[in-house]
Amino acid sequence: MTDATPHSDTAPGQDQDRPTTVDLAAAFEESGVREVLAELDDTLIGLAPVKARIRETAALLLVDQARRRMGLATETPTLHMSFTGNPGTGKTTVALRMADLLHRLGYVRKGHLVTVTRDDLVGQYIGHTAPKTKEVLKKAMGGVLFIDEAYYLYRPENERDYGQEAIEILLQVMENNRDDLVVILAGYADRMDRFFESNPGFRSRIAHHIEFPDYDDAELLHISETMLGAQNYHFDAGARSAMADYISRRRAQPHFANARSIRNALDRARLRQANRLFKEATGPLDAEALSTITEADLRASRVFRGGLDVDKRLHQAAE
């Protein structure tokens, strides 16, 4: 999308065709943004401050479009973003919705999301990084590039690290192609702060910093029920109470990853349910039996047996 043309460059008679007023409510409806925001509300529980920032960004872009139609001098806004927060707080999901929103508003051509990490950008030997980074950027053009754990791009402790080369290429493209690509950097807040301190070029190109809060216990319980419902499962009364207890205990233990940990816990519960049904069934089972998670399916978790195993590999399971 190109910048708006100043009044002095308009063709004769063109000014008369420009609107003198704008109906922002009508523009909002016509853009399809309402559907994106509704989908964001439907698919993500909680995250009120994040959703508010997305709405604010949508309002800014709608006003920007209105100004262009009226011939008011403006330039393409900087839309590169930073998403900070702990794992499992919905950063990737919001990035996907943001890509859709920007596409509907005409700020990116395709509206697709390309998700990468350091390994997708940085090579292991001289001459390897540039083609890898440029290939990723080629795939992302016209959409949104989401770089998860972006701070791993910069490793000053390793003199033979090639991350700086990827950073320099990214910075150049973020500046020169900001009308055809939006870059979102994501990761832990404290590590992202240090990353920006070490790479001021990134900070100067990031206009929107959005912090993703952790979910509270009630939101996590709601998330667990929503995840089960999407797979045609449900808790019985005892299981719902046990899940609330699980959440309270698990949050206090290491390596908790919000919704990601809840998903892993439910996968384990479904595994236990399947084993229980094989052991206990004495005849045909109906849909209710096949779809119900019981208290026993949850209480068997080691979270209720004094904490997680100290083995780091078991930690990674994030039950």
Q: Where are the domains of the chain?
A: 7-212, 217-317
Q: What is the mean pLDDT of the chain?
A: 88
Q: What is the pLDDT of residue 16?
A: 61
239-281 residue pLDDT tens: 999 999 999 999 999 999 999 999 999 999 999 999 999 998 8
2.60.40.3140, 1.10.1740.10, 3.40.50.970, 3.40.50.300: CATH of 7-212: 3.40.50.300
Query: Residues 285, 289, 294, 300: is their CA dihedral positive or negative?
Result: positive
How buried is residue 137: exposed, middle or buried, by Cβ count under 10 Å (0-12/13-18/19+)? buried
Mean pLDDT (whole number) for 18-30 = 83
What's the CA gap between 64 and 22, in Å, rounded? 12
Q: Is the pTM of this model over 0.85?
A: no
Token digits of residue 126: 């001289």
What's the CA gap between 145 and 181, in Å, rounded? 7
3.20.20.70, 3.40.50.620, 1.10.8.60, 3.30.360.30: CATH of 217-317: 1.10.8.60
Do the first three CATH levels of 7-212 and 217-317 match, i.e. the same topology?
no
Q: What is the pLDDT of residue 15?
A: 60
Residue with more model confidence, 170 or 73 = 170
